[in-house]
Structure 1
Amino acid sequence: MSKTIFITGSSRGFGKIWAEAFLKRGDNVIATARNSENFDYLIQTYGEAVLPIQLDVNDRDADFAAIEKAKEHFGTIDVLINNAGYGLFGTVEETSEQQARDQIETNFFGLLWLTQAVLPIMRQQGHGHIIQVSSILGIATLPILGLYNASKFAVEGLSETLASEVKGFGINVTLLEPNGFETDWAGTSAVQTTGIEAYNPVKDAFKASLKSDAFGVPEATSAAMFKLIDSNHPPLRLFLGKLALPWIKQVYQGRLAEWEEWAEVAAIAHGK
């Protein structure tokens, strides 16, 4: 049975790939981006199955209006995929106030506004699936991406809480945790801070740690997305890529060992 899927950030990367993949298999897609002219090909190819909407996710009123327009057009919204976002590259000290605010505004607040906008519709219809495109960097961190890491950690906390609040309404929530993929995320869509020379060794070590085989093929994620949205019992978290889970296992083993080492101190702090 076909679904109606609202996808933000649909003009490039995962959003573009998924939008066309869903349309090819017969789903309806609401495709949004800052420039809706990027969807001319989809309209010519898929006609009324696609609804293009020009949308800046940072505009809360526009987010609510876009969700309402989609509902009026198709009559339902089965799936919301909050995909819009970008990477901010630079150390914490280098990051300007505006860069920090812009990063959180798009990656977290834009996602929050659309989530809030779709919830009444999904509650009323008694079903829905909200898919938040987080990152493996919402569970563990890498240097040079401090504000990006922070934005995704915020998405994780919000979405895990949301899942416990809306399960009784028939609404599922899934956090997507991609490892690195060969998209434009680190290219022209990224923002760079103004560097401080003292951090050059950290940056050089970070670049040296990146291996050519560390990045997955974006188009290969479509099959996983089909399985996810078609599942009657989707997971709260889904890793995308073969490197994510092994890395997180290693990270959590280290965390658990450190917590155990300090367990006695923690118990003393309880006071009784």
Structure 2
Amino acid sequence: MSRRWLITGCSGGLGRVLSEAVLDRGDQVVVTARDPRSLEDLVAGHPETCRATALDVTRAGDAAAAAELAEQEFGGVDVLVNNAGHGMIGAIEEGTPEEYRPLFESNVFGLIETTRAVLPFLRRADGGRIVMMSSGAGIAGDGYYNATKFAVEGLSEALAQEVAPFGIATIIVEPGPFRTEFLGRSMRMAAAEMPEYAGTAGVRRRYRVEHDGQQAGDPHKAVDVVLQAVDAERPPLHLPLGERAYALARTKFTAFLKSMDQWEPLALKTGFDDPS
């Protein structure tokens, strides 16, 4: 079944690979980027099924205009993919408001506004899908980037319950390291580098330098799994991608359950005493 897509952040990374895969299978797509000139080749290669427009998720009105374009050109939106965003490496103490506030504006508030703008169109679709590009960092991690992805996870879980009565499924995609530009142009660094955090945030700084362009994950294979999830009759709410993401999830939830079990006898004794 042909679908109508609106995808944010299509100039590179998983957003670009996903856009190409969706177009290659014959679906209709509104591809977006802050500079739509980076998308001209997609439109040229698929003139009947691809439209490109500027969309800065932090700028009011851009998302609504993109949704209106999908309505005018293709008759609506069946799938929204919230992919736009960027990363940041730095300890909590190292980060400044000038560095972490734009991160939240893009990764969280921009995602919220884009979702709100497109929801009226999705509610009119038959079996709509919302794909939230989270991260393995949304399962477990540290730092400001991880905080934004934890916010995406919580928001998406609530959204999934709200839109389910309309036949809309929400898919939270949680990739581990994939070989995209994420550790390169999509990653910001806290300017301050404190020696006190050499063993924590400093490790992440070195990881970026040592692994950029060397990540084990194949983005084309990741996109293939995402497409299968979108097409599924009952899509998963959570979709970790890659060995690293699954290892993070299993480690976190094992530790979570162990801590719960350890403290349960004491933590349950917190109600009012029975007067009798």
TM-score bracket for the superposition, by shorter chain length: over 0.9
Write the distance in 1 (CA, Å) between the matches of 2:75 and 2:202. 52
Provide, for residues 181-206 of structure 1, a one-character-per-residue CA deviation record: whole Å limited to 9, x for no partner: 11111112211112122212324444
- Tell me, yes or no, if structure 1 residue 222 matches structure 2 residue 228: no
Provide, for residues 140-178 of structure 1, a one-character-per-residue CA deviation record: whole Å limited to 9, x for no partner: 114xxx111110111111110111111111111110010
Write the distance in 2 (CA, Å) between the matches of 1:220 and 1:231. 17
Matches within 5 A, 1:174-213: 174-194=171-191, 195-206=193-204
Aligned partner of residue 53 in structure 1, secondary structure: strand
Write the distance in 2 (CA, Å) between the matches of 1:207 and 1:118. 36
Aligned partner of residue 162 in structure 1, secondary structure: helix
- Mean alpha-carbon deviation: is it higher for 118-127 or for 164-173? 118-127
Partner of residue 271, structure 1 = 272
Write the distance in 2 (CA, Å) between the matches of 1:209 and 1:52. 35
Partner of residue 53, structure 1 = 53
Partner of residue 150, structure 2 = 153
Aligned partner of residue 101 in structure 2, secondary structure: helix
Seen in structure 2, the aligned counterparts of structure 1 residues 206 and 35 have a Cα distance that, compared at 3 Å, is: closer
Aligned length: 269
| 2:128–2:169 contact (8 Å) kept in structure 1 | yes
Aligned partner of residue 65 in structure 2, secondary structure: helix
Seen in structure 2, the aligned counterparts of structure 1 residues 56 and 209 have a Cα distance that, compared at 3 Å, is: closer
Partner of residue 261, structure 1 = 262
Write the distance in 2 (CA, Å) between the matches of 1:252 and 1:187. 30
Q: Which runs of 5 or more structure 2 residues have no equivalent in the other structure?
A: none
**TM-score, length-scaled by structure 2:** 0.91
Write the distance in 2 (CA, Å) between the matches of 1:209 and 1:49. 40
Q: Which runs of 5 or more structure 1 residues have no equivalent in the other structure?
A: none
Letter in 1 for 2:190: T
| 2:135–2:149 contact (8 Å) kept in structure 1 | yes
Identity of aligned residues (%): 37
Partner of residue 76, structure 2 = 76
Seen in structure 2, the aligned counterparts of structure 1 residues 193 and 205 have a Cα distance that, compared at 3 Å, is: closer
Letter in 2 for 1:264: P
Seen in structure 2, the aligned counterparts of structure 1 residues 54 and 116 have a Cα distance that, compared at 3 Å, is: same
Write the distance in 2 (CA, Å) between the matches of 1:21 and 1:209. 30
- Report how far residue 222 of structure 1 moved: 2.4
Write the distance in 2 (CA, Å) between the matches of 1:216 and 1:192. 23
Matches within 5 A, 1:238-249: 238-249=239-250
Partner of residue 137, structure 1 = 137
| 2:135–2:175 contact (8 Å) kept in structure 1 | yes
Provide, for residues 111-130 of structure 1, a one-character-per-residue CA deviation record: whole Å limited to 9, x for no partner: 11111111111222343100
- Flag the structure with higher helix content: 1
